[in-house]
Amino acid sequence: MNFIGNIIWLIFGGFISFIQYMLAGFVLCLTIIGIPFGLQCFKIAFFILLPFGREIRHMPSSVGCLSTILNIIWAISAGLGIALTHFFFGLLLTLTIIGIPFARQHFKLMSLAFTPFGKEVH
C-alpha cells in the first residue's frame, strides 16, 4: 500500500516539491552560513520524495543548544511559511476521504519543515 501511495504522491505534486527543496538546498549551500540549512532542505526533499511508510523521529542526542538556535533561525526565516503551506494543503486534502492519507503526509511534513534540526527520517 505504501508503494501505491508513494506513486500517487509523486504524480500529484510530490516530485515537484522534491525538485523545489533540492534547488533551495543547492542555493543555500552556496554560502558557508547556509550549508546547515541547505542540508536540512535535502533531508526534507528526500522525505518528500517517498513519505509513505516513513516516520520522523526526534534525536535525543542531537547537538543540543546549537540545534535549538538553528531551529529558531530556520523557523523565523522559512520554517513558519513552509509549515503553514503544508498545514493548508493538509486541511484541503481532509475534505475528501481519498485525500486523508495524503493530508497525513502533509501534517508529518509540517512538523519536519517547522523545526528540522534534531530530527531524523526513518
- How does pLDDT run along the chain (122 residues), one tens digit per residue? 899 999 999 998 889 989 999 999 999 999 999 999 999 999 999 999 999 999 898 887 656 788 889 999 999 998 898 899 999 999 999 999 999 999 999 999 998 999 899 888 88
Burial of 25 (0-12, 13-18, 19+ CB in 10 A): buried
Considering the entire predicted model, what is its pTM?
0.86
Task: Supply the pLDDT for residue 63.
Answer: 64
Domain count, the chain: 1
CA distance 114 to 9: 21
pLDDT computed for residue 60 by the predictor: 74
Residue 70: give the domain boundaries: 2-121
